[in-house]
Copies of this chain bind each other. A is one copy, B any other.
Amino acid sequence: MLSLAVMGSGKGSNFQSILDAIREGRLEARVACVLSDVADAFILERARGAGVPAIHVDGAPFKTKLEGVAEDRVLRILRDHGADSIALAGFMRIVKPKLIGAFRHRMVNIHPSLLPAFPGLHAWKQALEYGARVAGCTVHFVDEGTDTGPIIVQRPVGVLDTDTPETLHARIQEQEHLAYPEALQLLSAGRLRVEGRRVVRV
């Protein structure tokens, strides 16, 4: 059973899919705490509504990364709440080696493309502009690169001629909400073994 910290900066729809999966018995986990670098992010509201500790962590003096005193504070909060793994769910800061190393193969992220295609921001928009006919989402372990960690689950999403960035993003998010609980349950059940870049299911 995972003791999961969820970290996000926005509305937390992937966090909601995790809560739903736990409630429906598809994911054996408890959410130890939810952390956000944005004081009024809806993900914190959602956590409070679900009776989960909801903690704002000030990222200052940095704007785009989690490092220094803020990183140390996060590590302390995770320890205090007994979190043994981390799910990034729309967390908009770059996590740094200290946190990554402390949660090696215990920290996962979700990305709205079939990596290694379209890393970085607004991946669904990149896919559309590239003219891809198959988009998708990827759940992966977090390593020191940007969207480069070992892949746990991917789900494809067909691109329609009529797609706008918004409609494609919405269909990718539907698949994210299936992929994330699925990947976390594999982690929870101890079924993932990382061999180099490959994640093998045991």
Residues of chain A whose beta carbon lies under 8 Å from any beta carbon of chain B = 114-118, 128-134, 136, 138, 150-156, 161, 196-201
Q: Which of B114, B118, B134, B150 contacts A131 (CB 8 A)?
A: B150
A197 and B136 contacting across the interface, CB-CB below 8 Å: no
Separation in Å of the A34 CB from the closest CB of chain B? 27
Please give me the residue from chain B that is nearest to A151 by CB atom.
B131
Please give me the residue from chain B that is nearest to A197 by CB atom.
B131
Q: How many copies does the complex hold?
A: 2
Query: Bound complex: CA of A150 vs CA of B133, how far in Å?
Result: 10
Query: Bound complex: CA of A114 vs CA of B116, how far in Å?
Result: 10
Query: Bound complex: CA of A91 vs CA of B150, how far in Å?
Result: 33
Please give me the residue from chain B that is nearest to A139 by CB atom.
B133
A/B interface sample: 12 pairs, CB < 8 A: A114-B156, A116-B117, A116-B130, A131-B150, A131-B196, A131-B197, A132-B151, A132-B154, A134-B136, A134-B155, A134-B156, A156-B156
Please give me the residue from chain B that is nearest to A159 by CB atom.
B154
Query: Using Cβ atoms and an 8 Å threshold, which residues of chain B touch A201?
Result: 161
Name which of A117, A128, A134, A153 has the most chain B CB atoms within 10 A of its CB. Answer: A134
Name which of A131, A136, A155 has the most chain B CB atoms within 10 A of its CB. Answer: A131
Instruction: Decide: A133 near B117, CB < 8 A? Known: A161-B201, A200-B161, A201-B161.
Output: no
